[in-house]
Amino acid sequence: MEKLALLHTNLANARGELGHYFTRLKLFADIHPIILKTNNPIIIRNYNFKLGGLYYQLNDLDKALTHLYKGIFISDDFNWHSNFDGITETLITSTYAKQNKVDSVRKYILLADKIKRDEVPIPYNARIKSLMALSLAYEGNFEEGRKLLDEAYKVAPEGKDSSEMMYSEFIRRKIFAKARQYGKAIAAYIHVLDDYSEKDLESYITFVLLDLIDAYRATDQDQKAFAAYERLLDQLKLQKIGNQQLYIEELNYNMRFNENLAELEKLKSSNEKALLTRSKNNMLIAALAVFLDVLIVVLFLLVKAKNRNKILAKKEYDLLEASLEEEKQSRIIYEMKLLKIIEDRERNRIATDLHDSLGGLLSSIKIALYDFQESAPLSENEMNHLSRILHYVDDTKQELNRIVYNLTPLIVEKFGLLEAIKQYCKKIQTDKFRIDLQLIKVPSQIVVEDEITFYRIIQEVLHNIVKHANATHVLLQIQTDKSGMVALSIEDNGDGMNLETARLKGGLGLKSIYSRVQNLNGKISVESNKNEGTSIYITCYPRMIQESDNNVKPSLLK
C-alpha cells in the first residue's frame, strides 16, 4: 500500500513539474483514500506538504496553509525522505508573504533559518535568503535586506532555477516599495514582468501587477496604473478559466465516484439476495432439526435443560459484568480526581522552580549587563544593541511571570473565584482592550478543584480573544440559579471566525475549553460569524462543598 501511494505521489509531482497543476490536483484527490489507508504518519505528512505546495502554486492560500501545517516534518522524516529541516516552514513563510502578513513572515522564516541543515538545496537556500531580506525590510533595516537579497540573487543561478531568480526580484521590488522608493520599485516590477517566463511568473503575476498599480498610483501615473489594471483583469480572466477547468474536473471526479457508489449498491443488493436465500435454507434446516427433536424426546429434554442452564449462566455473567463495569467506572473517576490533584501539585512545583531558578538567573543577567554598560566605554551602536538585549531580558521575565501565573492560580485558593476573575480581567485590560465584568450572582461554595477549573475556562477564552480576535471590547457575565447551575457568557466584538474551520483545525485551546466544561458536567455553545464577533455560552454544574467526595479533600491541593 505504501509503495502504491509513493508511486501515485511521484506521478502527481511529475505532472506538477510540467506545469499541469490541475491534473496534479486531480491525481492527489484520487490517491487521498490510499494515503489514509497506509496509516503511515510520514507518508501522510509528505502528502500534505506536497498538496499544500500545489495550493500555493494555485494561489488558494488558505487551503495551502491548512495542508502545510499538517505537513510540518519531524526529525524521523529525514531518515526516510530527502527533505530537509525547515522546508515546510519556508513554504509557509512564502504563503504569508503573498498575504502580506508581516508577523507571520518574520516568525516562520526565522524558524526555518534556525533549523535548516548545511546541505540545504540551492533553490531553497535562495528562497530563505530572499524571505530573510523581506523580514529585515519589514523591520525597517532596508540596507541589510538589500545585501541579503543580493546574496539570494547570486545563489539562485547555481541551482539552475530561474523561478528563484524571479522570486528574489519579486522580493526586491517589495523592499523598494516598503522604503517608498517607487521609481526603483516600478523598474523592478517591469523587469520581472518582461524578463521572466510565463511559467516562472504563473504563481506571482497577479501580486506583481497589484503592487505595480499601487506604485503607479503613489507616483500619480494614473494612465500607466490603468494599463496595468487592464492587464491584471486579463490575468484574472485566465485564472477564472483555469478554475472553471478545475471545477469541470471535480464534476467528472464526482460523477465517477457516484458511479462507483451505484455499483457498490448493486453488489450490496446481490449480497442481500444471497443472504435471504441462505436464511431460507437455514429455516428449512431448523425445521428438520425440530422434527428430529420431537422424535427423540429424551434428547430434546436434555437440550432444553442445557439451554435453560446456559441462559441462567448468561444472566449471572451479565450481572457480574455490569457490576465489574460499574466498579471500573467508579475507579476511573476516582483515579481522574487523583490525577488532577497530582497535576495541580506538579504545576505548583514547576511554577516554583521556574520562578526561583529562571527568575533569579534573568535578574543576574540583567545586573551583569548594567555593570558592563557602566564599566566599559561603548559606541552608540553597541549601546543600542545592549539596550535591545536588556529589553529582551525584560520581555523574557514578563513571559516567565505569565507562565508561572497560568500554571498556578493561587489567587483562586487564597481569595476565591470572584476576586481571581476580577484580578485577571484587570491584568489583561489595556486602553484599547476593555472588559465589562457583570457578576450577577457568583456561587461561593464551589469546591476548590472546580473553582480552578472554572477560572481556567475563563482564562483560556480571554487568552484566545486577546491572541486571535482583534477585539476592543468583551462582555463577561456570570450568574447561578437555585439548582446550582452556573451560566457563563463571554461576548467580544472581534473578527469572528468560521466555526466549521475552527472545529476541523481543532486547536489545543478550544479542546482544552471543551474538556474542562465536561469536567464540570456542563455544555458549551459557540456562535460566531466573520467580522461579527464571537459569543460563547457555557452552563455547568460544579460541585458544591457539601457535595464533594470525602476521599478527595480540597486541602490536598495546597
Quick check: 407 and 445 in contact, CB under 8 A? no
Quick check: 131 and 105 in contact, CB under 8 A? yes
**Residues in CB range of 225: below 8 A, 6 or more apart:** 213, 216, 217
306 CB neighbour count, 10 Å cutoff: 10
pLDDT for 237 equals 72
pLDDT tens column, 432-481: 999 999 988 777 788 888 888 899 899 899 989 998 899 999 999 999 98
pLDDT for 280 equals 81
pLDDT tens column, 342-393: 766 776 677 677 766 777 787 788 788 888 878 878 788 888 888 888 888 8
Cell of 543: 460541585
Q: Looking at per-residue confidence, does 148 or 261 come out higher?
A: 148
Quick check: 486 and 542 in contact, CB under 8 A? yes
Q: Residue 78 gets which letter from DSSP?
A: G
pLDDT for 119 equals 67
Q: Looking at per-residue confidence, does 554 or 509 come out higher?
A: 509
CATH fold for the domain made of 414-557: Heat Shock Protein 90 (3.30.565)
Cell of 80: 526516510
Q: Report the C-alpha gap between 426 and 420 in whole angstroms.
A: 10
Q: Report the C-alpha gap between 527 and 522 in whole angstroms.
A: 17
Q: Report the C-alpha gap between 452 and 247 in whole angstroms.
A: 51
Residue showing cell 442445557: 306
Assessment of whether the complete model's pTM goes beyond 0.75: no
Taking alpha carbons only, the member of 454, 527, 520 closest to residue 496 is: 527
pLDDT over 50 (residue 80): no
Q: Report the C-alpha gap between 161 and 31 in whole angstroms.
A: 29
- CATH architecture of the domain 84-220 equals Alpha Horseshoe (1.25)
Taking alpha carbons only, the member of 554, 542, 547 closest to residue 344 is: 554
pLDDT over 60 (residue 18): no
pLDDT over 70 (residue 261): no
Taking alpha carbons only, the member of 491, 29, 443 closest to residue 256 is: 29
pLDDT tens column, 215-250: 778 788 878 777 777 877 776 676 665 555 554 554
Q: Residue 91 gets which letter from DSSP?
A: H
All structural domains of the chain with their residue ranges: 1-61, 84-220, 325-408, 414-557
pLDDT over 80 (residue 416): yes
**What is the distance in angstroms between the CA of the first residue and the CA of the last residue of the chain?**
54
